């Protein structure tokens, strides 16, 4: 078992530019079920992929893969032709919020937006648009979602993952990789790893993911990785106290971040004395989360939380 994505996930790519093509290729090598792409200027053509199989991905495949993905003008056309139920967005920032809304309008159930640098106001509008629709958005500004050896959607390196029993949820891309790699090395492995992204306005949040993992029978524990800015970690801590039945380990980045400075991510900023790492660590601590003192200790913290 897993959450959000598995072998039944049929993935559409929005934005088959250089970046989109590169990551579509690695997803195909991994064995993800990629069904097509939307890229208006290439509509009607076919994008060809071939190469060596990534054997850390879906098992039981040959040593090479070859695929021809049809390119469509719009998401609705693509959905009609391919029955895609998930989409991954590599569209440039000025157009990405619109791509999210287009996917939602076309009935895509899971939208994963990788694009970094979307204007906040655009995301406020996109999020309002999604409000009354039965759709889940992950991101933007995130590495994506992966269920090891089943489905890889996004930009994470596949080989660091291994099927297992820990759910991973993170605001930071590279820190997700750190956590995942430690879980692979200590043998716990992952059910699903979800990057929720570092923007101030995003789709799926910590609490959403904690709920999913709490309800997933295969998940035995969760690592959540937060950072300075906002109050999402505090809200998660509250939810964990009240509802979580599984052990949780955590890490918060930004203990040494100076106030008022945006630390790379638009969302990672301490403003008006709010959103500090120490507040977040204290909240998680109080909720019984084992907080790792450094990112290198995340795997150990998970082992400790499992008891």
Partner 1 sequence: MKARGIAVPSGRVATTVAQAVAAVRPLIEDSGNPVVVVKSQIHAGGRGKGRFKEHPELGGVTVVLAGIDGGVQAAEEAVEELAEKMLGSTLVTIQTGPEGKQVNRLYIEQGVDIETELYLSVVLDRAVSRNVLMVSTEGGTEIEEVAEHTPEKILKATIDPAIGLANFQAADLAYGLGLEGNAFKNAVGFMKALTAAAAELDTDLLEINPLVVTKDGNVMALDGKMSFDSNAIFRHPHIAEMRDDSEEDPAELEASEHDLSFIKLDGTIGCMVNGAGLAMSTMDIIKYVGGEPANFLDVGGGATADKVTAAFKIITKDPAVKGIFVNIFGGIMKCDTIANGVVQAVKEVGLQVPLVVRLEGTNVELGKQIIDESGLNVVSASDMKDGAQKIVELTK
Instruction: List the catalytic residues.
Output: 265
Which residue, 59 or 255, is less far from partner 1 as judged by CB?
A: 255
Regarding 243 and contact with partner 1 (CB under 8 A), the answer is: no
Question: Quick check: 254 and 262 in contact, CB under 8 A?
Answer: no
The only residue of 267, 281, 301, 305 in contact with partner 1, by rule CB under 8 A = 267
Residue 173 sits at φ, ψ, to 5 deg, of -65, -60
How many chain residues touch partner 1 (CB under 8 A)? 65
The only residue of 12, 266, 287, 290 in contact with partner 1, by rule CB under 8 A = 266
Which residue, 29 or 78, is less far from partner 1 as judged by CB?
A: 29
CB 263 to partner 1: min, Å: 5
The only residue of 169, 254, 287, 305 in contact with partner 1, by rule CB under 8 A = 254
Q: How far apart are CA 285 and CA 150, in angstroms?
A: 34
* Residue tagged 């893969």 (tokens): 65
Q: Positive or negative CA dihedral for 105, 109, 115, 119? A: positive
Which residue, 279 or 297, is less far from partner 1 as judged by CB?
A: 297
Regarding 94 and contact with partner 1 (CB under 8 A), the answer is: yes
Regarding 139 and contact with partner 1 (CB under 8 A), the answer is: no
Regarding 210 and contact with partner 1 (CB under 8 A), the answer is: no
Regarding 132 and contact with partner 1 (CB under 8 A), the answer is: no
Stretch that binds partner 1, among 52-60, 63-71, 75-83, 119-127 (CB under 8 A): 119-127
Regarding 120 and contact with partner 1 (CB under 8 A), the answer is: yes
The only residue of 156, 168, 194, 283 in contact with partner 1, by rule CB under 8 A = 156
Regarding 55 and contact with partner 1 (CB under 8 A), the answer is: no
Give the DSSP per-residue string, the chain. --SS--TT--EEEE--SHHHHHHHHHHHHHT--EEEEE-GGGTT-EEEEEEE--TTSSSS--SEEEEEEEEESSHHHHHHHH---EEEE---HHHHHHHHHHHHHTT-SEEEE------HHHHHHHHHHHTTSS-EEE-SSS-EEEETTTEEEESS-GGG--EEEEEEEES-HHHHHHHHHHHHHTT--EEEEEE--SSSS-SS-HHHHHHHHHH-TT--EEEEEEESSSSHHHHHHHHHHHH--S-EEEEEE-TTPPTT---SSTT---BTTBS-HHHHHHHHHHTT-EE-SSGGGHHHHHHHHH-
- For the record, the structure tokens of 89 come out as 């967005």
Regarding 148 and contact with partner 1 (CB under 8 A), the answer is: no
The only residue of 47, 102, 227, 233 in contact with partner 1, by rule CB under 8 A = 227
The only residue of 225, 237, 290, 291 in contact with partner 1, by rule CB under 8 A = 225
CB 217 to partner 1: min, Å: 29
Regarding 285 and contact with partner 1 (CB under 8 A), the answer is: no
The only residue of 4, 175, 249, 281 in contact with partner 1, by rule CB under 8 A = 175
Residues making contact with partner 1 (CB under 8 A): 19, 22-23, 93-94, 116-125, 127-128, 143, 155-157, 160, 170-175, 177-178, 181, 198, 200-201, 225, 227-228, 230-232, 235, 251, 253-258, 260-268, 272-273, 277, 293-297
């Amino acid at each position: 078992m897993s959450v959000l994505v598995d072998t039944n996930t049929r993935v559409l790519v929005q934005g088959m530019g250089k970046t989109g093509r590169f990551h579509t290729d690695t997803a195909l090598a991994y064995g993800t079920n990629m069904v097509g792409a939307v890229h208006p200027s290439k509509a009607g053509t076919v994008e060809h992929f071939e190469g060596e199989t990534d054997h850390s991905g879906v098992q039981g495949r040959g040593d090479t893969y070859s695929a021809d993905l049809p390119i469509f003008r719009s998401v609705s056309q693509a959905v009609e032709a391919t029955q895609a139920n998930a989409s991954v967005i590599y569209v440039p920032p000025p157009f990405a919020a619109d791509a999210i809304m287009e996917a939602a309008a076309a009935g895509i159930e899971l939208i994963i937006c990788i694009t970094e640098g979307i204007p906040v106001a655009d995301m406020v509008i996109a999020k309002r648009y999604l409000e009354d629709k039965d759709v889940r958005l992950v991101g933007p500004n995130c590495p994506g979602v992966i269920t090891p050896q089943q489905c890889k959607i996004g930009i994470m390196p596949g080989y660091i993952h291994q099927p297992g029993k820990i759910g991973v949820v993170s605001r930071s891309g590279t820190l997700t990789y750190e956590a995942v790699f430690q879980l692979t090395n200590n043998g716990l492995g992952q059910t699903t790893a979800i990057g929720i992204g570092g923007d101030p306005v995003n789709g799926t949040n910590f609490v959403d993911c904690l709920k999913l993992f709490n309800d997933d029978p295969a998940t035995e524990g969760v690592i959540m990785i937060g950072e300075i800015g906002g109050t999402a970690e505090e809200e998660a801590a509250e939810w964990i106290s009240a509802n979580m039945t599984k052990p949780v380990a955590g890490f918060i980045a930004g203990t040494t971040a100076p106030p008022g400075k945006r630390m790379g991510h638009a969302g990672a900023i301490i403003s008006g004395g709010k959103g500090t790492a120490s507040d977040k660590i204290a909240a998680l601590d109080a909720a019984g989360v084992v907080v790792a003192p450094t990112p290198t200790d995340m795997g150990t913290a998970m082992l400790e939380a499992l008891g």
